[in-house]
Amino acid sequence: MSAEQPAQAGTFNVGLLGYGTVGAAFAELLQDRAQEIKGLTGREPRLTGVLRRDSGSYADILEGSDVIVELMGGVEPAREYVLAALLSGRHVVTANKLLLSQHGEELIAAAAKGGAQLLFEASVAGVVPVVRVLEQSLAGSHIERVHGIVNGTTNFILSEMERGLSYAEALAEAQSKGFAEADPSDDVSGRDAAAKMAILARLAFGAPVHLDEVPFEGIEQLQGDDLAYARELGLGLKLIGTAERRDGGLSVRVHPAFLYSGHPLASIGGSFNAVTVESEAITEVTMSGPGAGGPQTASAVLGDLVSAMLPPTGRRAPVKRLPLLTDIESAFYLHMDVADRPGVLAGVTQALGEHGVSIKSVLQRGMGESARLVMVTHPVLESSMSAAVARVAEFDFVRAPPRTIRVIEEEFV
């Protein structure tokens, strides 16, 4: 579809930017549900223009629309188009996490200036309604922490690695099933999850957080035997995004982490996403569901469209900048490839102890050339752990760079 249709009375005119995986699914869903939505809102939503790379004119689409649905992706020209729509008083629905995590403040200010709504449920965790829950249902809950599995591609790859596949085999499997793009870098590096955590942090804490302020580590370096050893210790591996209050500031970060089996995120497998929200008032709430896919994401976009057609439910909370902390305490899994000889465990334990690292559990496996020492530590500052690992790496009996992965300590029962 490319032609811009004339506006009609009693209709709500929808200008669609992008007609790819999500855009095409949204257009189909909109057509299927138009009468139901008319019943809910009193107006019939009607697609009045579609922009693609080689068809449609943004100026004409904007002119003929009550709402702009941005499903192009990328930062420019999406930013320019969304800003123009908001400043002209048109509501905007978007699924674009890269745009929101880098220009969220500018867009929110433009929405306030233009008297328009900016809705972005589909930008985080696909169909899981976490944005609305944080913004409205839990608005008064003084949230302490949000933990999320917010990237379905990496969760699928890790689930396959748990079944015994190597990283390369699991990635190939994800690509063949359509869960990973031909260029999976944004997903496997943790950047996509970091963008989503920046958005969630702003919603949870009312503090602006930019993608550039979120440190992230991905899953490319993980080894299959780390997962096997961790299983013996009762741990499962996930790519976890965390946003939490700490010492008067915030920590927002993404990295692989081991979870004990009682953690609510431990059982989330395959391409599903899940978000756990914690506060004193609510204890813990976990939401999970499909994190991506055309029809699933389109359904979240359609929910936002219905919201845009109804009177706004409230004002956004005021924003207050909070310091972002970088050196965080965590428990660690530590994997060492060592020579099989007396004194090794004592040497490692002493070196760790000198940096304040104490050991919670130890596994020793193999003999001779294939001896392995695997430990889980008690919580310690990341800087202390890095210093301890650098010291351990200097021993002549350590035969390869030691590997560390964070462990999330809490056990929910």
Contact positions toward ligand NAP, by CB under 6 A?
Answer: 18-23, 51-54, 71-74, 77, 95-97, 122, 126, 292-293, 297
Least distance in angstroms from the C-beta of 380 to ligand NAP: 36
Q: Is 115 left (phi over 0), alpha (psi -120 to 50) or beta?
A: left
Shortest distance, position 265 Cβ to ligand NAP, whole Å: 19
Smallest distance, ligand NAP to C-beta of residue 196, A: 9
Output the smallest distance, CB 41 to ligand NAP, in A.
Answer: 24
- Give yes or no: 113 in active site: no
- Cβ contacts of residue 311 below 8 Å, gap of 6+? none
Least separation, in Å, of the C-beta of 169 and ligand NAP? 23
Nearer to ligand NAP (CB atom), residue 206 or residue 303? 303
Instruction: Tell me which residue has its CB nearest to ligand NAP.
Output: 20
- Shortest reach from residue 209's CB to ligand NAP, in Å: 18
Nearest to 324 by CA among 247, 407, 239, 406: 247
Query: Nearer to ligand NAP by C-beta: 194 or 292?
Result: 292
Alpha-carbon distance of 31 to 10, in angstroms, equals 16
Could you tell me the end-to-end alpha-carbon distance of the chain, in angstroms, rounded to an integer?
Answer: 52
Question: Is the CB of 96 or the CB of 307 nearer to ligand NAP?
Answer: 96
| Closer residue to ligand NAP, CB minimum distance, 156 or 229 | 156
List the catalytic residue out of 38, 177, 196, 320: 196
Residue for token pair 């048109």: 90
Based on CB atoms, which residue is closest to ligand NAP, 37 or 95?
A: 95
Place of tokens 């403040």: 105
Compare residues 199 and 407 and give the one whose CB is closer to ligand NAP. Answer: 199
Sheet of strand 44-51, all strands in order from the earlier edge strand to the far edge: 44-51, 11-17, 67-70, 91-94, 118-119
Dihedral through CA 343, CA 349, CA 351, CA 354, nearest 10?
-140
Residues 6+ apart with CB under 8 A from 158: 170, 219, 222, 227, 237, 238, 239, 256
Distance CA 378, CA 349 (A): 13
- Which residue from 84, 37, 43 is spatially nearest to 60, judged by alpha carbons? 84
Which amino acids are annotated catalytic? Answer: 196
